[in-house]
Amino acid sequence: MEFKYSNEPEQSGHHTAQYDQFYTRFAPIYDWLVKTLPIWRNWIGAAISEIQGPRVLEISFGTGYLMTQYAGQFETFGIDYNKHMAQIALTNLRQAVFKVSLQVADVERLPYHTATFDTVLNTMAFTAYPDGQLALSEMRRVLRPGGRVVMVDICFPKDGNRPGTFLTNAWKAGGDIIRDMPALFEEFGFEYTDREIGGYGSVHLYVATKSVEMDPKF
């Protein structure tokens, strides 16, 4: 079955600025919603069992809810583009008595050395990035050989069922960039699994492993 995936935005800077403005306004509400909506917590929480340590980087950690669920088990780092989200996350993590290293930074220019992390975690965020290839390239670069990208995000259901396809297209209509993630993982040499975890198959859990034979510069 063929699906109509999104085109990458022509003006990536404008796209990023729009999302940044939205999350600046939405940050306190988002924090409340994540803490109170079981379905959202279940979706992003599915990633936790796939994390391998000891060093974990969460990209686009939002207000830090997921990090409070696993940070005590690993050496944890995080980046988010929105400084208001990052400030709320810092408060949440302090209240949870977890010590983590947080930065305001861009997924397209990760401020870490090559082959630094065992897991790169990314939940419900990749569809907001204006350049999927550059974002995944940076995720791969900072992973150690044998490390993994653990990602939860929206994509079309594999069987093309109507409710799941409708939900995916609704996210797309709202501005999310729906990509063929299996093809993108294959393009960058990852071995991956793809499990549908909710939303009639529209919510996917991807675990993509960087080959131990891969050139360390990547």
> For residue 6, is it within any domain?
no
Rounded mean pLDDT, 167-175: 94
Per-residue pLDDT at 218: 47
Please write the tens of the pLDDT for every residue from 34-88.
888 889 899 999 999 999 999 999 999 999 999 999 999 999 999 999 999 899 9
> For residue 216, is it within any domain?
no
Residues in the chain: 218
Rounded mean pLDDT, 92-98: 88
> For residue 4, is it within any domain?
no
> For residue 60, is it within any domain?
yes
Give me the domain span that covers residue 161.
12-210
Per-residue pLDDT at 49: 97
Per-residue pLDDT at 17: 76
Rounded mean pLDDT, 110-116: 97
CATH number of the domain bearing residue 118: 3.40.50.150
Q: How far apart are CA 80 and CA 62, in angstroms?
A: 7
Q: Whole-model pTM?
A: 0.91
Backbone phi, psi, residue 174, to 5°: -80, 0
pLDDT higher for 96 or 204? 204
> For residue 2, is it within any domain?
no
The tally of domains found in the chain comes to 1
> For residue 164, is it within any domain?
yes
Q: Which long-range contacts does 49-55 make (Cβ < 8 Å, 24+ apart)?
A: 50/119, 50/148, 50/150, 50/205, 50/207, 51/119, 51/121, 51/150, 52/118, 52/119, 52/147, 52/148, 53/118, 53/119, 54/118, 55/116, 55/117, 55/118, 55/119
